[in-house]
Amino acid sequence: YAEACNGFEFRNGRISHPVNSAKPNQTKFVHALWATGSKTRGDFIIENNLVEMGNYSDGKPDDEQLTGAFYCNFDNIRITNNTIIGLDEAVEIIGNRADKAALGQGPPATGPGEIVVSNNTIKVTQNLGTRWAGTFAILIAGSKNVDAVKIENNTMDVSGKGWAFGLSGENLRVANNTIYHNAEYPTALVLPVVD
């Protein structure tokens, strides 16, 4: 859990055997690597990892990710060369560099920056708890003031109740992804901008 840090990197590791530790009637979140807050800056780099989520002995979670960045101020986010197996979003990036100054959380990061999600092998069953109606293999929404958001050269096997992509924001580039899609919903959903 990264907050109020100047960058975070996780490389050449293995994440497996997650535990759903929520109490009854709580939302059941399982996040392997999670970053949040306007004081979370620098670079967020997750690469060359084997990630084996799913296979819960204590009930399916409502929400699960290898990695999430939720209203951070990262300059660069790079999620590359990972093998990610799980139930829910492999990658979730929401509101990076969004201006939250009016809520006492700003100002947003400025200067060069980009988000790159590339060369990952992703397999998600999208077979979760019942709290939300659908899910995404890659969810990137509402990121602002970045030079590019590149989602490229990923191989994705997507099934269940969800989409391969949920996307919104500025300077999106989606190219050369291979998608094996056996999900109930269409391949992609363009989301409204998240403020």
Structure tokens at 33: 């690597």
CA-based R_g, the chain, Å: 16
Q: Specify whether the CB–CB gap between 83 and 44 falls below 8 A.
A: no
Q: So what's the pLDDT on residue 118?
A: 98
- Nearest Cα neighbor of 1 from 28, 33, 27, 41 is 33
Q: Which two tokens stand for residue 87?
A: 């139930």
Which pLDDT score is estimated for 189?
A: 62
* pLDDT given for residue 195 in this prediction: 44
Q: Which residues does 25 contact at the CB level (< 8 Å), separation at least 6?
A: none
- The Cα 25–Cα 74 span in angstroms is 33
Closest CA to 76 of 106, 47, 99, 52: 47
> What is the model's pLDDT at position 29?
86
Which residues face 118 on adjacent strands? 80, 152
In this prediction, the residues of the chain whose per-residue pLDDT falls under 70 are 101-106, 132-134, 189-195
Give me the DSSP letters along 23-45.
Answer: PTTS--EEEEEEEESTT-EEEEE
**Is 0.75 surpassed by the pTM of this model?**
yes
Beta bridge partners, 25, equal none
Strands 178-183 and 155-160, bridge-based pairing: parallel
CB 117 within 8 A of CB 138: yes
**3-state class (DSSP) for residue 10:** strand
User: Distance of CA 73 to CAs 17, 41, 69, 124, Å?
Assistant: 30, 5, 9, 28
Structure tokens at 25: 């009637």
